[in-house]
Structure 1
Amino acid sequence: MSEKIKILIVEDEMIIAANISLQLNELGYEVTGIVPRGEEALMHIKSEAPDILLLDINLKGNLDGIETALEMQKNHDIPVIYLTANADDVHFNRAKETHPYGFIAKPFKKLDLQRAIELTITQISCKDDNKTDVESQNTEAFILSDCIFVRHLNSMVKVNIIDILYIEAERNYCRIFSNNKEYLLVMTLKEMDKKLPARHFLRIHRSYIINISQIKEISTSHIVIGRKAIPISKSLKKELLKRLQTI
């Protein structure tokens, strides 16, 4: 892959597209084009294939974003990041069939765009490394008794378990919140839950795993860790209270 990542923007709202293009340029990426229709995107890809496709789901024209991705994937293997103002289950389930690298919900911040692209680049790099690097065949996190090594860009970063506050699901990603930093992993919360040491962590909600030792307050419907109020389901609250009695 070239040093400068090439990105094609497929977005039919030109003000949004122009703003994305400006942000991408500021982040150091090369925008190969801005096109408003899926049909035009397919033509563009034939002449100048980008490294990443930023694709609005709700395109006007004969093809919506998901149909455009399906057509593109017949001849090209280009990572897709979807842009969407409609993140309902119907669209999400359709989009999953195209195996996207990410979803960005509108309206979004520059940081959301930056993180989605960095995650995609990391996944591409890991795919490439799999051919020659045994380490890359492992998952995005290595769990030890007192720490977790998480993949950040092209290296593994150590995160001490005592510093982890909680972990939050973001669809097919999960975000680790520690005392000092956040880490976004290409791993579902369910997968992460299986790997974490049970004596330290408990899943208290479909979207949250907490570090039990970091709890500051337990309320009727939530617990507090740091300054974050985290919802807790009734059934899992019983499990939490049971665990606290044995610590």
Structure 2
Amino acid sequence: MTDEITCVLVVDDEALIALGLTVTLRSMGLRVCGTAATAEQAIALAQQHRPSLVLMDVRLKGQADGVDAAIEIHRTVGSSVIFITGSREPETVQRIQQDHPAGVLFKPILPVHLKAEIDRVFGH
């Protein structure tokens, strides 16, 4: 699985969730190139590290949300984005669809579901 994935950027404003995702990704043999809690941090890290994959929470600290960040990252870097959200509200799901996401996972995320979604996105 790691052949096509250079690194993964984890974006979540809850530190414990970001840490949990980081540990899970590393246990899958993937390199995490950074974590971010805001859209601005996410965009800067993505432009610096050019990750193959971004795990993007929809709700972030600050004025911009994860969809704003994903649109800019997709435009400037081209990373695949899997959105992570705790909300199943139609407005949230519609907003996510603005970026043509590679995938969407709903919290809480089990490691087996994360691995399955990453495998699906990268054709494994």
- Bin the TM-score by the shorter chain: over 0.9
Distance 2:85 2:35 in 1: 16
Fraction of identical pairs, as percent: 28
What is the Cα deviation at residue 76 of structure 1?
2.1
Question: In the alignment, which residue of structure 1 is the partner of 2:116?
Answer: 115
Q: Deviation per CA, 1:161-197, whole angstroms, max 9, x where unpaired?
A: xxxxxxxxxxxxxxxxxxxxxxxxxxxxxxxxxxxxx
Instruction: Kindly indicate whether residue 87 of structure 2 is the aligned counterpart of residue 86 of structure 1.
Output: yes
The structure in which a higher percent of residues are helix is: 2
Q: Taking structure 1 as the reference length, what is the TM-score of the superposition?
A: 0.48
Task: Give the Å deviation of 1:73.
Answer: 2.5
Matched, 1:54 2:55: yes
Unpaired runs of 5+ residues, structure 1, are 123-152, 154-247
Question: AA paired with 2:90?
Answer: D
Q: Which residue of 2 aligns with 1:37?
A: 38
Q: Take 1:29 and 1:55, find their aligned partners in 2: how far apart are those partners?
A: 16
Residue 4 (structure 1) shift: 6.5
Deviations 1:9-45 (A, max 9, x none): 0011001110110010001111001111110011111
Structure of greater relative contact order (alpha carbons < 8 Å, 6+ residues apart): 2
The structure with the largest strand share of the pair is 1
- What does residue 66 of structure 2 align with? 65
2: CA distance, partners of 1:27 / 1:76? 24
CA-based RMSD of the aligned residues comes to 1.3
Paired letter, 1:79: S
Q: Which protein is bigger by CA-based radius of gyration?
A: 1
- Taking the aligned partners of 1:46 and 1:27, their CA distance within structure 2 comes to 24
- Paired residue type of 1:66: V
Structure 1 residue ranges, 4+ long, deviating more than 6 angstroms after superposition: none
2:102 equivalent in structure 1: 101
5+ residue gaps, structure 2: none
1:18 corresponds in structure 2 to 19
